[in-house]
Amino acid sequence: MCRGCGGHHGKDDSHHPPIPPDAVVFAQSTEEVAFVVRTCARHATPVIPFGAGTSIEGHVQALHGGICIDMSGMNRVLAVRPDDLDATLEAGMTRMQLDRELRDRGLFFPVDPGADATLGGMAATGPSGSTTVRYGTMRDNVVSLTAVLGQRRSGADRWAGAEVLGRVTAP
């Protein structure tokens, strides 16, 4: 349960006070994310994906309680295709982790919002940054992603990105 976690999962880098979820699930796979999202959808329970918690507008506050899905355990590289300049990555990988993985191949991930954000959190918030004029925003660099959808309830889906296919770049 998160009540004893000091509010970490209900707090981002903003000045907003922590509002913790009722529980935190540390996901290890897309299947686990899907199980949690679909179970919560059945019980009309809010789901709050948690990347690195670097957002600055209170995004991860659990305003109505619910289950936080911490994505930090899903931080693996699934494939890098240097010839195509793209890579398939789990959504909990941070951009700096990715750059360390790519460094020896002479490649880097070009979206830099300043914070060491996760690819899933960046896909959700669509950041720009110091390199955007040359390489584009997150939207320009995501080719496709795996989204986990709950049941449709009153037109609103509860979802979480689990894998991201992103463009990588040679300097």
Ligand X SMILES: Cc1cc2nc3c(=O)[nH]c(=O)nc-3n(C[C@H](O)[C@H](O)[C@H](O)COP(=O)(O)OP(=O)(O)OC[C@H]3O[C@@H](n4cnc5c(N)ncnc54)[C@H](O)[C@@H]3O)c2cc1C
Instruction: Select from 50, 66, 67, 102 the one that contacts ligand X (CB under 6 A).
Output: 50
* Runs of H (alpha helix) within 8-162: 30-42, 95-102, 119-125, 132-135, 138-141
Q: Which stretch binds ligand X (CB under 6 A): 2-10, 34-42, 52-60, 75-83?
A: 52-60
- Of 52, 39, 45, whose CA–CA distance to 8 is shortest? 52
- Nearest CB to ligand X, comparing residues 56 and 170: 56
Sign of torsion over alpha carbons 123, 77, 118, 62: positive
Least distance from ligand X to the Cβ atom of residue 1, Å? 19
- 68 CB burial (10 A radius; 0-12, 13-18, 19+): buried
Least distance from ligand X to the Cβ atom of residue 123, Å? 7
- Of 71, 58, 136, 134, whose CA–CA distance to 97 is shortest? 71
- Of 10, 72, 60, 69, whose CA–CA distance to 37 is shortest? 69
| Size of the residue set binding ligand X (CB under 6 A) | 30
Residues 91 to 130 in contact with ligand X, rule: CB under 6 A: 91, 113-115, 117-118, 120-122, 124-125, 127-129
Residues 139 to 158 in contact with ligand X, rule: CB under 6 A: none
66 binds ligand X (CB under 6 A): no
Q: Read off the DSSP letter of residue 15.
A: S
Instruction: Select from 2, 36, 40, 48 the one that contacts ligand X (CB under 6 A).
Output: 48
- Nearest CB to ligand X, comparing residues 143 and 170: 143
